[in-house]
Amino acid sequence: MTQQAAAGHLPSPFDASFAADPHALYARLRAAGPVHRIALPDGSPVWLVTREADVRSGLSDPRLSVNKRHSTTGFSGFSLPPALDRNLLNIDPEDHLRLRRLVSQAFTPRHAERLRAGIQTCVDDLVARLADRIAADGEADLVTELARPLPLRVIGALLRIPGPDRERFAGWIATMLSPRSREDLVAAVGAVHRFLTDLVAERRAHRGEDLLSDLIAARDEDDRLTEDELVSLAFLILMAGSENVQHVISAGTLTLMTHPDQLAALRADPGLLPGAVEELLRHTSPNQTAIRRFPTEPVDIGGVRIPAGDTVLFCLASAHRDPARYPDPDRFDITRQDNAHLALGHGLHYCLGAPLARLQIGTALGALLDRLPDLRPARPLAALPWAATFRFHALRALPVTCRP
């Protein structure tokens, strides 16, 4: 892969083997060089940054904008309506800090703590249902029974969204992430937009004890969130809060089941669970890349000059397996002393919901260890279905079983 490849003739490394093992590709790219000019599956040209030091530095570089207006080559991705797009992932420091200051009044660690007992109750209920299904049928899908419904219930409670609406929203988001056609994508985006617009209007008229009501009430002197900002923030909270947690729980459970020495160590000492969660976020995070950046001026990354306005992708999955940063990086080790990762963001765009995500993942894994100590895959590993794009790598299903 050369940085001088001509536009329109760029290599696209995402072949059929990528879904089965994306880390093999990233290892080859990382060894070949820190930055590669490649084409995404749709033909869009991007600069892919592979090494941890460059990724960590780039994520906090103010010259690298997340705002699509800085794309001089034309942003080729699907553009959301402004009411969904004006969220913290798509705006730069001045507006970002203003929104973050307002949002932080409502999205505080106390919200996670306020939900702790409810999360435990929800996890206990879902794990009991998983155990009952295994007892009845011999196996059950951990994604369907636990990993998917848990964050939907938690975020639904945080925003006070009725259960049936949470399921509808989850279906729309799944379509947006893996659409079968552009028509399906447009329909899902339209449905999400209408749903959240109606939700904000309803909550403005009838406030309660929930995050969205707190966001509506948040103000900084005469400043407050606009309708579009409220809708886009609700969209971000629902999408990021449900998808990422789901995939870390499912992939994390699989990782533990396939590393019996680590699983045994965790069972012997439950105090290792917080470190295990961090190691899972490093080792198995579903997010392959951070949100795209656009240089506002020419920048040098890894010794490569990148023109202003080009699209830059920082590869989190590659950074997390960089041997220059993590000794023996492919080894899953819940006692790893330095596993500081980028799975929840870095710098200005660090995830506001990180405490809530960690709480859900840890609670779910702890309950599985306690209630189903003999849990194991019910299918050969090669038969497990993965959804894999340059953006994320996640299990579609995880059939599990255990001894009665």
For residue 360, give the CATH number of its domain.
Answer: 1.10.630.10
Mean of the pLDDT values across residues 148-152?
91
In a domain, 178, yes or no: yes
pLDDT, tens only, 27-61: 999 999 999 999 988 888 999 999 999 999 999 99
> Does residue 159 register a pLDDT over 60?
yes
CA 99 centroid distance within chain: 21
Residue 7 lies in a domain: no
Residue span of the structural domain in which 356 resides: 16-401
pLDDT, position 93: 65
Q: How far apart are CA 294 and CA 41, in angstroms?
A: 19
Domain assignment of residue 217, yes or no: yes
Counting Cα atoms < 13 Å in the Cβ hemisphere of 135 gives: 9
The pLDDT of residue 70 is 81
**C-alpha to C-alpha distances, 235 to 230, 231, 397, nearest whole angstrom:** 9, 6, 25
Instruction: Band the pLDDT of 78: cuts 50, 70, 90.
Output: low
Confidence (pLDDT) at 1: 41
Note whether residue 2 is domain-resident: no
* 292-316: pLDDT as tens digits: 899 999 999 999 999 999 999 999 9
Mean pLDDT to the nearest integer, 79-96: 65
Question: Range with the lowest mean pLDDT among 115-119, 262-266, 276-280, 337-341?
Answer: 115-119
In a domain, 10, yes or no: no
Residue 91 inside a domain? The answer is yes
Domain count, the chain: 1
| Percentage of the chain modeled with pLDDT above 90 | 49
The residue among 155 and 306 whose pLDDT is bigger is: 306
Q: What is the pLDDT at residue 4? A: 40
Q: When comparing pLDDT for 207 and 78, which is higher?
A: 207
| Structural domain contains residue 8 | no
Is residue 134 domain-resident? yes
